[in-house]
């Protein structure tokens, strides 16, 4: 493996329409990805938020040896099913997509109590059903937790056989310690570079290094000093540098350790391969 290729971006949405727009000030997404994979990025996990976006995430993953996909229904995308058959049909679609060779996780799933546009009872039905699906498929879950820490911890406790990662972690250090003791992972986004990231800084310094992943959540959550621009994996160097400063280790160590953690956690072979 080329030692120049260092960072595993564990949460991205390169199929998002914010890419491929003149206003993004970025090259077309395929050109952007070619550049990223030939410079500082080794792997990207492209994450779905509903059926069409999960299919788009897989289609992009098929084009790059280092790109993988997650499939699932985001809490803010959950439809209100009219009956059991309708719900089962959608879950069967997710289950079929999860069988693709480049799919390494179910996600993103979870709770969003900030945008309460989907009733919490509906979010709960989908969250629970997809936790069961992950267990059946023996895949980890990627959890979106926005202002729902207690409810997320309750759901995790109800599904002890499921392992996962909390993406763009926003909870307390104490909650993170509980998750890590269950074998869960904590993923740190560019939010750690923000001035008001006091709690996340505490989390990053408190946890064992082998429980940490890094992510962009691009096109969202652009780190300092690029806030206001469309985010992409190239900016992860700023996130890694901040984590290195917090922990008193080198930026290279942060990249290597978080990449090794991601490869182990998502069961991906070190050498990218499309086979």
Residue ranges that bind Zn ion, judged by CB under 5 A: 217
At its nearest, how many Å lie between Zn ion and the CB of residue 167?
6
> How many Å is the Cα radius of gyration of the chain?
17
Pairing assessment for the beta strands 41-47 and 7-12 based on DSSP bridges: parallel
**Least distance between Zn ion and beta carbon 252 (Å):** 26
**Tokens linked to 137:** 């498929």
Task: Give me the least distance between CB of 11 and Zn ion, in Å please.
Answer: 6
CB atoms within 10 A of CB 110: 28
Minimum distance of Zn ion from residue 217's CB (angstroms): 5
- Tell me the sheet residues that pair with 213: 187
Give 217 or 251: the residue with its C-beta nearer to Zn ion: 217
Nearest to Zn ion of 5, 126 (CB atom): 126
Q: Is 195 helix (H, G, I), strand (E, B) or coil?
A: coil
Residue number with CB closer to Zn ion (15 or 259): 15
Q: Which residues pair with 69 in a beta bridge?
A: 46, 103
Closest chain position to Zn ion (CB): 217
Closest among 103, 169, 171, 178 to 140, alpha carbons compared: 103
Closest to Zn ion by CB, 9 or 217? 217
Q: How far is CA 49 from CA 2, 92, 182, 217, in A?
A: 32, 16, 25, 12
Minimum Å distance from CB 109 to Zn ion? 11
When the beta carbons of 147 and 174 are compared against Zn ion, the nearer one is 147
Q: Which is nearer to Zn ion, 165 or 197 (CB)?
A: 165
**Nearer Cβ to Zn ion, position 145 or 217?**
217
Closest approach of Cβ 13 to Zn ion, in Å?
A: 6
Distance from C-alpha of 33 to C-alpha of 70, rounded to nearest angstrom: 18
Q: How far is the CB of 1 from Zn ion (least distance, A)?
A: 27
- Chain mean position to CA 76: 16
- Residue 222 DSSP class: P
d(CA 62, CA 102): 7
Count of CA atoms in the C-beta half-sphere (13 A) of 99? 5
Residue number, 50 or 251, with CB nearest to Zn ion: 50
Structure tokens at 205: 């310094």
- Minimal distance, residue 18 CB to Zn ion, in Å: 12
Residue with tokens 């406790």: 157
SS3 at position 103: strand
């Amino acid at each position: 493996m080329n030692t120049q290729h260092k960072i595993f971006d564990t949460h991205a949405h390169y199929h998002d329409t914010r890419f491929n727009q003149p206003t993004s000030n970025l090259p077309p997404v395929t050109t952007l990805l070619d550049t990223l994979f030939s410079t500082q990025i080794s792997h990207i996990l492209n994450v779905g938020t509903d059926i069409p976006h999960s299919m788009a995430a897989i289609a992009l993953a098929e084009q790059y040896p280092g790109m993988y996909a997650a499939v699932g229904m985001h809490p803010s995308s959950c439809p209100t099913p009219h009956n059991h058959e309708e719900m089962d049909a959608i879950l069967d679609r997710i289950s079929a997509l999860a069988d693709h060779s480049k799919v390494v996780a179910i996600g993103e799933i979870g709770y969003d109590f900030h945008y309460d546009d989907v009733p919490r009872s509906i979010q709960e039905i989908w969250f629970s059903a997809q936790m069961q699906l992950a267990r059946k498929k023996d895949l980890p879950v990627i959890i979106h937790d926005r202002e729902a820490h207690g409810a997320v911890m309750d759901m995790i406790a109800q599904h002890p056989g499921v392992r996962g990662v909390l993406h763009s972690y926003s909870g307390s250090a104490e909650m993170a310690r509980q998750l890590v003791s269950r074998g869960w992972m904590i993923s740190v986004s560019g939010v750690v570079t923000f001035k008001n990231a006091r709690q996340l800084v505490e989390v990053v310094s408190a946890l064992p290094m082998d429980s940490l992943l890094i992510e962009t959540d691009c096109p969202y959550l652009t780190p300092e000093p690029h806030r206001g621009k469309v985010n992409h994996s190239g900016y992860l160097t700023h996130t890694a540098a901040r984590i290195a400063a917090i922990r008193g280790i080198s930026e290279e160590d942060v990249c290597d350790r978080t990449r090794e953690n991601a490869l182990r956690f998502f069961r991906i072979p070190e050498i990218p391969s499309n086979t």
